[in-house]
Amino acid sequence: MVIYGLLLLSGCMYVGVLIGDILGKLTGVNSNVGGVGIAMLILILLSDYLLERDMLSGKAQAGIQFWSMMYIPVVVAMTASQNVVSALSGGPMAILAGVIAVAVAFAFIPMISKIGEPGEPLPELEKKEA
Amino acid sequence: MMDMIITPFTKYGLVMAFLIVGVVMYISGLVSKLTNKRIAGSAIAIIIGLILAYIGGVVSGTGKGGIANIPLFSGISVMGGSMLRDYCIISTAFGARMSEIKKAGAAGIISLFVGVISAYIVGVIIAIMFGYSDAASAATIGAGAVTFIVGPVTGAAVGASSEVVALSIAAGVVKSILVMILTPFVAKPVGLNNPKSAMVYGGLMGTTSGTAAGLAATDARLVPYGAMTATFYTGLGCLLCPSVLFLITKAILG
């Protein structure tokens, strides 16, 4: 059933966010620490386990895949609700701080990517419709 | 008559958001075809989203919430809110490979620290250049250059003025929007074409919304890797900025 996929996904989200909140409390930060990332790790581990044992039906997988295909439209909705006006009206200082912070971060990507085993590029593919 | 046209949009907000975003995606696809698919449809859709957010902010008189401030588009805030966004981000992990994540382990963690600290230093230096040279203001603006969540969290902790907090949020929003727009263009020169560099990128940029949209426009298969490290960034920023980094700043600025 499709809902089983959503059950798995929602369960991962709950546990991940809960752990993130607990981490936030323990470290004295008033925010969630990595909850979504933890949920993603749990989902990877659980789905690996379930798929290997053939315990996740095609329909259950479709339930998860639906949301991952909705990802780009959701992101578009998110950008449409950003505070673009305040970003532009923050004046030269806010804009300069943002621009340089981004430029510095981009410059670090090739350097840090060299640490450890090299990553392999994903294979080229035809324009995939999302 | 006008009411009748608008009511379904406010009554069935989320569903009407699907309609609106569907139209935006369709138009973006057409525009992408005009450029011979040189610019990805999702990148165009994201830019349209930002333009809509600007129009919405100007029309409603308050930028917060972007286009969702206009009742006709209120459902957009549900569809693009943190609940569905995080749900979708988590779902992209389905199909990501554990082996790739292990490969990036050390580089991913280093990128988080380098990302937070470098953004903070840049923000502090710019703040001082613009005359915000007391430790609390400089630290808050520095934290804003980390993300627009870390800025106000730090501002509240160190007792910065509300004007400075607003500036720190603006710096963070500028950063997040730039990441959305620039990523597809900078991807090639910085080697952003594999899961490992995507994780490093997520750790360096940190802004979840920025990396999420930037990677979506570059190569959607990289999204889970970048998003995973990015979600740890804000937490790390909230941890470091009001504490260690603030104390160092205070020691230097006196």
As for the ipTM of the complex, it is 0.84
Q: Same structural domain for residues A76 and A36? A: yes
Confidence of residue A129 (pLDDT cuts 50, 70, 90): very low
Residue B122's pLDDT is 92
A61, A95: one domain: no
Kindly tell me if the per-residue pLDDT of B249 is higher than 70: yes
Structure tokens at B117: 């600290």
Q: Is the domain of A9 the same as that of A73?
A: yes
A9 with A63, same domain: the answer is: yes
pLDDT at B62 > cutoff 90: no
Q: Is residue A65 part of a domain?
A: yes
Residue A54 and residue A92 in one domain: no
Query: Domain for residue A36, yes or no?
Result: yes
Top mean pLDDT of A19-28, B33-42, B51-60 is at B51-60
Measure the CA dihedral B47/B48/B54/B55, to 10°.
Answer: 160
pLDDT at residue A2 tops 70: yes
Domain residue spans of chain B: 2-80, 98-253
Residue B40 scores a pLDDT above 50: yes
Q: Is A44 on the interface with B (CB under 8 A)?
A: yes
- Look at B171 and A93 and tell me if their CB atoms are within 8 Å: yes
A52-61, B6-15, B151-160, range with the lowest pLDDT: B151-160
pLDDT surpasses 70 at A29: no
Question: A42, A63, A81 — which closes off a domain?
Answer: A81
pLDDT of residue A9: 96
The count of structural domains within chain A is 2
In a shared domain, residues A90 and A40: no
Asked whether residue A27 is assigned to any structural domain, the reply reads: yes
* pLDDT score recorded for residue A128: 46
CB contact under 8 A, B45 and A89: no
CB contact under 8 A, B195 and A119: yes
> B110 CB near a chain A CB, below 8 Å?
yes
Domain hosting A55: range is: 2-81
Cβ–Cβ contact A62 with B under 8 A: no
Check residue B79 and give its pLDDT: 92
Does the pLDDT of residue B191 top 50, yes or no?
yes
Q: How confident is the model at residue A118 (pLDDT cuts 50, 70, 90)?
A: low
Same domain? A36 vs A66: yes
Q: Cβ atoms within 10 A of the Cβ of A127, count?
A: 9
What tokens appear for B133 in the block? 């040279």
Tokens 């600007």 correspond to B54
Mean pLDDT over A32-37 rounds to 74
Domain contains A88? yes
**Average pLDDT estimate for B94-112:** 78
What is the pLDDT confidence band of residue A130, given thresholds at 50, 70 and 90? very low
> What's the mean pLDDT in B57-69?
81
- A71 lies in the same domain as A90: no
CB of B195 within 8 Å of a chain A CB? The answer is yes
Asked whether residue A30 is assigned to any structural domain, the reply reads yes
Q: Is A22 on the interface with B (CB under 8 A)?
A: no
| Yes or no, beta carbons of A84 and B232 under 8 Å apart | no
Regarding whether A74 and A35 lie in a shared domain, the answer is yes
Q: What pLDDT, on a 0 to 100 scale, did the predictor assign at position A44? A: 87
Give B251: exposed, middle or buried? Use CB within 10 Å, 0-12, 13-18, 19+.
exposed
Model confidence band, residue B22 (pLDDT cutoffs 50, 70, 90): very high
- Cβ-based contacts of A79 with chain B (< 8 Å): 46, 49-50, 53, 80, 180, 209, 213
Q: How far apart are CA B129 and CA A24, in angstroms?
A: 33
| Mean pLDDT, rounded, for A68-72 | 85
Cβ contacts of B54-59, under 8 Å, gap ≥ 24 = B54/A84, B54/A85, B54/A88, B56/A80, B56/A81, B57/A83, B57/A84, B57/A85, B57/A86, B58/A85
- pLDDT over 80 (residue B63): no
One domain for residues A77 and A21 = yes
In a domain, A52, yes or no: yes
Mean pLDDT calculated for residue range A16-36:
80
Query: Which positions in chain B touch A81 (Cβ < 8 Å)?
Result: 53, 56, 65-68, 76-77, 80-81
Cβ atoms of residues B154 and B183 within 8 Å: no
Question: Given this model, what pLDDT does residue B19 score?
Answer: 95
Residue A117 lies in a domain: no
- Residue A26 and residue A63 in one domain: yes
Share of chain A above pLDDT 90, in %: 25
Q: How confident is the model at residue A30 (pLDDT cuts 50, 70, 90)?
A: low
Q: Report the mean per-residue pLDDT for chain B.
A: 85
Number of H helices, E strands in chain B: 14, 0
